[in-house]
Chains A and B, each alone.
Chain A
């Protein structure tokens, strides 16, 4: 460990460690890039890839993000962008859960979907993509549907959950399990020009309140579908909520939901108490 620390200190430019030095350290000391990143941040040095995070996220906060485990439930429209942004942000461990494979109708909006991976697992595509962007991030791909039966096990050890599901009943199951495990849940959902975001904190039952009068499996997306821009907007708002919750900064969308109408460009804040 001392040798690794000496190597890193010697190779720091200012307090930055280049990607090349990170790779070299991993090879020289037989460690994973994940382990080396932890050592860098623990020394209060910063992997150079995060230097533009800096005025927003301190090195100490970057370490907090690195030590965080985030579960993303669904790797489709919302989930793809959420996973992309979490990995660029430097969240250390991402559990990517989705039972499906890519189909042609996903190409209009799902950032993980490419012509070359049609028919392939969405969860696996998340792992491949993150490895291309930030190999220091650990991805745990789960090609299975989140359910009441496996939920407790899937969310074991997770700090916060991103809702990127495509139906109401599973979302309610997820919200109940997050309540039980006392894990915050960042909720996002989309349909056509519209989307909504909120964060359910333990004990607040926000998601059940939102859907208490909804007997349907789907919402307006059943008829409107989902264009390219809606998931990108809502996913980004979800990631901002996740980042703040992990760093205990700013003001969460707690007991309030943003309802976003991109057709008329209106954002309404709704109290969910």
Chain B
């Protein structure tokens, strides 16, 4: 299945803004985060097709995943 991944803010550094991947059925968001080598604590906001999701969310063909790092300063 084909899944589009969009990265935001610091997650883009040395990676990409947006890319498409061929993935095995039943792949989860967590699998993608691992595949991209993003440390666990660097992704805290996850969206699949614009809906709030989490690492355990299973992906389907044509899905679009958006990953954001935490921002906490003031």
Contacts and interface: CB of A to CB of B under 8 A. Distances in A.
Contacts of B8: 259, 261, 268
Contact of A219 (B17, B55, B71): B71
A122 B69 CA distance: 29
Interface of A: 74, 76-79, 163-168, 171, 188-196, 209-211, 213-221, 223-224, 226, 231, 259, 261, 264, 268, 270-273
Contacts of B50: 270-271
Contacts of A223: 10
A168 B70 contact: yes
B73 A191 contact: yes
Nearest to B68: A259
B32 interface: no
A190 B54 contact: no
B34 interface: no
B74 A213 contact: no
B44 A74 contact: no
A77 B55 CA distance: 33
A196 B52 contact: no
A221 B52 contact: no
Interface string B50-67: 111011000000000010
A112 to B, nearest CB: 13
B51 A219 contact: no
Contacts of B17: 264
Contact of B73 (A77, A209, A213, A271): A77
15 contacts: A78-B74, A163-B74, A167-B72, A188-B74, A189-B73, A192-B9, A196-B71, A214-B70, A214-B72, A216-B41, A216-B44, A218-B70, A219-B71, A221-B72, A270-B66
